[in-house]
Amino acid sequence: MSLELAAWTKDEIDAICAKPYGAYVRALTAHYQQYFLDHPELASYHPLKAKDLASALPPGADFLEEYLPEKLRHPQHLSGRSSQVIALAMIGLAWRRDLSMRSLENVLSLPGLLKSLAPKVSFEVELDSQLLNESPLVSTIDLLVEDDAAVICIEAKFGEDGMGRCSCPAGAPAIADCSKKVLQRPVYWETANDVFFLPDRVQGKPCPISSSYQAIRNAAAARALAGPDRQAVFVLVYDERNPYFHPIDAWPGWPELLTRTLNDAEQLNRLRFRAISWQDLIPQLPLDDSARAWAREKHALL
């Protein structure tokens, strides 16, 4: 089992995870089909989707809709396995009960990180195109928590097949035939070198940032938003049942691989990283019994 990030390519990860991931997805599909059969008042015409955002959220949590404007909702946000809605529901409800976000600090073992009584909390934040030199498409942060002392970029995962990869043409990552747009984003490459300690790109050899592209973007965004005067933090939240996020055969799982990779960066005060499963996070958040019951019944998370 290699804990060297540079040792893993997309194809190597998929070769181990794809088959068990298929079984995981089939189990989720069966679960959500049954959930919506049991709750026809919440269901849409589609067997795996809610009829609207209010129906996708826990009972009594429809007020959270205002924090996720329609233009920022993912195309599949009504799907049972939408990580965007799970994050809005669980972290959103916890935030409204604890505006200081101290409970999240403690869960992540980052006490004293935030200094304000009510840090700014935003869901699905589109970055300014100039921040990472991205155009026309820009990176979005699933959940951004910030004050004068720190910036926390949270990446919420659930049923996804791992971390997002680069969108370079098929076959290009295997020989580092990176797109011109990616090459013109120096913050990506600086973060890959200075934070992830990845080797330089060499034409003809596997691209060093392809398989961990989304993690690098999140870390780059956290550092760019924080600037020199604030602490940059990148947090990954995931479903521990998902094969891409737990050890299987030679694959250590993204949480362990990123934790080991980014440990040195934390020691050098370049970035702080935390990974936590929904199964561990939800019981420690300030949620009421109905919210936890929703997580248990709808998502089988507890």
pLDDT attached to residue 165: 80
- What pLDDT is recorded for position 164? 82
Each residue of 152-196: pLDDT tens digit?
A: 999 999 999 999 888 888 889 889 999 888 999 999 999 999 999
Rounded Cα distance between 89 and 93, Å, is: 6
pLDDT of residue 2: 77
Interhelix angle for 83-97 vs 289-299, to 10°? 170
pTM: 0.96
Low pLDDT (below 70) residues in the chain? 1
| Identity of the residue numbered 39 | H
SS (H, E, C) the chain: CCCCHHHCCHHHHHHHHHHHHHHHHHHHHHHHHHHHHHCCCCECCCCCEECCHHHHCCCCCHHHHHHCCHHHCCCCCCECCCHHHHHHHHHHHHHHHCCCCHHHHHHCCCCCCCCCCCCEEEEEEECCCCCCCCCCCCCEEEEEEECCCEEEEEEECCCCCCCCCCCCCCCHHHHCCCCHHHHCCHHHHHHHHHCCCCCCCCCCCCCCCCCCHHHHHHHHHHHHHHCCCCEEEEEEEECCCCHHHCCECCECCHHHHHHHHHHHHHHCCCCEEEEEEHHHHHHHCCCCHHHHHHHHHHHCCC
143 phi/psi in degrees, rounded to 5: -150, 125
Helix 213-226 to helix 254-267 angle (10° resolution) is 30
What single letter denotes the amino acid at residue 198?
L
Question: pLDDT for 287-297, tens place per residue?
Answer: 999 999 999 99
pLDDT at 6: 87
Distance CA 285, CA 280 (A): 9
